[in-house]
Structure 1
Amino acid sequence: MGAMTNSAVVLADAAAYAAAVEEAAQAAAAYYATGESTLDDDAYDRLVRGIAGYEQEHPQEVLANSPTGKVAGGAATGDVPHTVPMLSLDNVFSAEQFVTWTASLERRIGRPVAAWSVEPKLDGLAVAARYRAGRLEQLITRGDGTAGEDVSHAIGTVVGLPGELAEPVTIEMRGEILMTNEQFDRANTVRTEHGGAPFANPRNGAAGTLRAKDRAYTVEMTFFAYGALPLPDSGELTDTLAELPHSEVLAYVAGLGVHTAADTDVAPRTVTTVEEVQSRVEEVAALRASLPFGIDGIVIKADLAADQREAGSGTRAPRWAIAYKLPAVEKVTRLLGVEWNVGRTGIIAPRAVLEPVEIDGSTVSYATLHNPADITRRDLRLGDRVMVYKAGDIIPRIEAPVAHLRTGDEKPIEFPEACPQCGSEIDTSEQRWRCVRGRSCRLVASVSYAAGRDQLDIEGLGATRVVQLVDAGLVTDFADLFTLERDQLLGLERMGETSTDNLLAAIETARTQPLSRVFCALGVRGTGRSMSRRIARYFADMDRIRTADEEELQRVDGIGKEKATGVVAELVELAPLIEKLVAAGVNMTEPGATPPPAPGEEGERTADAAADGAGGLPLDGMTVVVTGAMTGALEKLSRNEMNELIERAGGKSSSSVSKRTTLLVAGEKAGSKRTKAEDLGIRIAAPDEFAELLAGFLPSEV
């Protein structure tokens, strides 16, 4: 094949996105099964970048089988479970945001943070390296945070990750695999010598190399450790690591012979004040351009183990650490045109078409434009030279036109007079323009979202199948899924009896999903899985949600006046769809939740209180942590399903053990959480015991 470009594949709509995901999934399956993909490395990378770009602009439309997983650079979710989740980090982008975050952390732990560790945020791929008795046995990607891919085949190509430690300890190193600038140059030289296309940038080079098997050549990478934790059989080391400050953990890791950033110009530094943190951030930022490897920010962590334990972790990120993102790289290019795309909820969003420009190692051809008012405010014109930057180093955005470079040939940007998707009228009453048909304008995306894993979880109903149903006139909204008949499905291409029966069974199961999932499937703007759960727990049934006014909605944690106004308006718009769901027999109640009191009977009540006050629920007022592999009746439940089970039974789920924990459900290979629970005197239950306690709340198929 000829030379390939480094730009991402452009995915214009949900159907193109679904087809790209399917193509990438097939290529990945072939790659890992035989070592020979149906796509070459560059084509696969371009496809995955296109998928990732589409998902960044349309996060509600992400498909369950997307190859992007949770790791940047295309690393896919795997099947090797992590002993402790590999979480992401929340971000701040300014000194003011960082100060606000530190104040929030110190309020949470009830005291000033004793010390801070300031270290580079390396631009690579997070991995876990497991050593047993001092010997490196397994290398695992972060994947989705709970499980990752086994990439142990790459062990011999990673500098800084010794095959044997200085001591025969059992331990897991966590860190970042990347290509240094020198390694990147060498990698591209050897790839082109073997007829391959060069990598687009060091991060994608590391991602592709980490996955690669049976190549005719070797590409070297580098590992930097940013932490360590015990494995279930680590013995006394478990207690040692649990009490060491983060800075001493890094020193211990370096002493074992594992590479850290300690010998670089941006070595981790321990400081005691916010002012010292800011000073170090400025130093690292100034060194960024001269470093022999890429960084995209600075990571700031509470150094003491006690502060970390007290702060705990959320479902996505630890509360004791933050990523301070550095200012993005900026480039000037030409604005060639504007595309108008319609989102899942009918929002019409402009996207800038740019003269391709290289920014931080990747080709940028498109940029976000926010809304028509933003275009007018900045006086953008076709043909303008514009300053483009990558917000958060991910999503390209136009900062401003370079007015002094105008020639007089620039032309005004024309706004659409009708919906570019369906031709209907446009509601221009708000800054974000919207097709008057709303969700029905982007039917495929809306139905695919509703059927997704975190909503109705209808297995076998991917975007490709939804397109079939829409094209056949069988589905005009996702409520129509519940009235599909067997003969209708059998009439579709590639729908045999088995696949038809399986899909109908999955739809029947979806009919009984709790209200929180049904509400999430509606796609009300500003509400996702967690917010939908809080709303469902507070109101207990759909009728009460629909009749709630703005004031009552604001009693739900996380809903302010503006969001409450939006929810009320959208529920009015969604009334016909909700009525269809009710008529189809879809469940409209939240198990274990009790309805709120009548107006005037009680001043305040939170969503948690709605469950905690449910009276007679087995987990009333309890905080429950689940760890290890579940067995018996709980074996098939995902962690998200376990959390939902706990909340239906009146409890609160948590990801970390602390003095606030009431119960630990400990499965096989429970590890350090069980040890910590024992030390704190926390009640521990086996999976079978926990299943018996919650027998009345388990899904019927379990």
Structure 2
Amino acid sequence: MAEPFDTPAAYDAAIAQVRQAAAAYYGGPDLAMDDADYDALMARIAATEAGRPDWKPEDSPTEVVAAGGGVAGDVVHSEPMLSLDNVFDADTLHRWAARLERLLGRPAAGFTVEPKIDGLAIAARYEEGRLVQVATRGDGRAGEDVTGQARRAAGLPERLTEPVTIEVRGEVFMTEGDFEVANGMRTAAGEPPFAHPRSAAAGTLRAQDRTYDAPLSFLAYGVQGLGDGPHSAAMATLAALGVASTAGMPVCAGIEEILAAVEALRAGRGTLGYGIDGAVIKADQPADRDLAGSSSRAPRWGIAYKFPADTRTTRLKAIEVQVGRTGVITPVAVLEPVQISGVIVTSATLHNFDDLVRRNVRPGDTVFVRRAGDVIPEITGAKLDERPAGSVPFEPPARCPRCDGEIDRTQKRWRCTRGRACGAHEALLYYAARDSMDIEGLGGKLVDTVVAAGLVTDPADLYDLDAATLAGFERMGEVSAAKLVAAIQSSKSQPLSRVLTGLGVRMTGRSMSRRLARHFGAIDALLAATVADLQEVEGVGPERAVTIAAELAELRPVIERLAERGVNMAEPDFQPRPSAPAGSLPLPLRKEDGSPMTVVVTGSVPGLTRNEGNEAVERLGGKSSGSVSKKTDLVVVGEGAGSKADKAVELGVRVMAAEEFAALLRSV
């Protein structure tokens, strides 16, 4: 049981704290209190009111929707949008079920168990199948009109499959993929990252004048206007109408089945792709709901079973300092691997250096780690009684660890005063490398010179250099300057795959850059691709897709500047996915079903470097690989081939001479 407050002053202070936290929670974009701390404080307030009802004000947070933090608006709801009461363990859930049975005078005729998504509740009205208005829950009686922003939410279609008039209620939220992409867009726009997927969704839903459109998702948990059938049937009908809903949820006969379904949901929460903080149990039949009724803030026929935060312990091996593209300097924890909510975690955010001091963690400590919002791993503190003898606090850097420049400490997020120029040296050399844009003559010393002169901070600036300016630098005559400018300008014709390689998109390399370029064909299509679209590319799973999407969002300003300067943003070998039968494909390294052959090139191919040999495989319709296995379809063997050729023979994999491969390449 929660401990009540001893004095009216402490009770009043707790109410004020809860209201402040609720306002931040429902208004976005930041959180003022951890979810578990909020629930614990509310429990103490309720316990106090049970013993001292004379202290309780009429507008106590235990009696109003959204604890008084919901933002009311001009859109009056057709029926109040209520909150849910919470339980935190099986015993309390048993007591809730017993109380419901007493209200009904009999056992309820079935319950549904749904994921409790940590999002923003909305009501969406459809007239004759067309979405006409979306409003937030607000104070439960009226909410804000967010129709324009909500139209972007995946799962909330503009038109239904049938011309029905209904009101759909559910949660707008951000999936793990949405959150990564949104933060990439936000930081690229020069704003601090969102603190949490829930606050990110709330802020995005209310945003009016942003320069970017962050992704949102929607899941329905209720509907009005479909008749008086069971809740489970209504959700199935919604799904058939094209609305993402909780259709397919288990329908349970009694408390033991409910607990089993709750436990299954808790165990699988790490695989859902979005954050949940509990399960919602509801009476399935409308007759049971009508008979049980509701209080002023919550229905008596439903309850939220809140999950504890999935927190684990592991050893903090080291604290590293990372410098982002824009010069932001961040401490990052390096951890001994630990599994949290189904994900192996090896590093965690420490947010900023002030936060590092507040959490009081040091290398060598045994630390508590959780996935904030079930998405981002974070350290919440250390087991101080297990701190190693002789440990010392982490010493923040006095100067930028990448460029030795000054650090701006005026904000919570420290930043190198050189900004993007801080990492320009490495970025420019990688962009100019042979396997990237192949700009001959652009070496490290010259890069240092043009960066120090303030002429270049990112690859797009290279195309503004002129021979007269370069000729004025030491060891750079007119001839050398002219040759370098010509090489830079010539690189504009490189294919999109080389541009992507040169930009150094995280979790991609030369091979993946080629796959992305050949899948989408042009930069506009790639930048418009969703996380789901990216997963259609060979070798791109959910985690990589999220990272690539966030990276592209951050790189968009540089990409746009490159395009403005005439850099090619298309892939010449792009072939739209054919609608013809796969067997009709003319590419020689395709199987009969149209899928690419897996090809290993070992040894030298006449006229090609190793990387060009792999590019040629993909140009011929195949998929390049670096190792031979039973799944390999072809091994190209050239001069200097080693054990890979022997393994191909051993496994019975088809072998092709490098000369034959070169001739095949010339024939297409």
TM over 0.5, yes or no? no
Query: TM-score if structure 2 supplies the norm length?
Result: 0.42
Query: TM-score if structure 1 supplies the norm length?
Result: 0.40
Larger radius of gyration: 2
